[in-house]
Amino acid sequence: MLFIMKNVATQIVVAVDDDFRVRESLGCLLESAGYEPMVFSSAEELLQSGTLTAATCVITDVRMPGMDGIELQRRIKLEHPTLPVVFITAHDISDEIRLRALEEGAVYFLYKPFNAVDLLELIKAAPAKTRET
């Protein structure tokens, strides 16, 4: 099933994951839904890119070599406090880590493998959810 959204062509959605296959899949999914995907292999690569000023949402893995997704979220919130962050992970996350991330503004957690339609719906709803917090 192809999930196409209208009026999102100018929306840049950033995806950060150390797994090439996940990055490639996210990029294809986002593009097929009409978003402009920008994918990065690490948090450091994203932060050095200058992309965050144009992004409408960030999808990041929780566990990555170097800077993890939780620290990435903390750094994003310092300069872009309204930018929504959606976490994806293949690992069980402790309640403490999950709660801390949600308190710091994470909008959602999804566990891999996740449903593509669910992710697209979360991305669509993420800006409104960020404004609520």
Task: Give the pLDDT score at 1.
Answer: 43
* Mean pLDDT of the 5-18 span: 78
**128 contact partners, CB below 8 Å, separation of at least 6:** none
| DSSP code per residue over the chain | -----SS-TT-EEEEE-S-HHHHHHHHHHHHHTT-EEEEESSHHHHHHHTGGGTEEEEEEES--SSS-HHHHHHHHHHH-TT--EEEEESS---HHHHHHHHHTTEEEEEESS--HHHHHHHHHHHHHHHHH-
Pick the CATH number of 12-132 from 1.10.3720.10, 3.40.50.720, 3.40.50.620, 3.40.50.2300: 3.40.50.2300
Residue with tokens 């950060």: 16
The per-residue pLDDT for range 57-94, each reduced to its tens digit, is 999 999 999 999 999 999 999 999 999 999 998 877 77
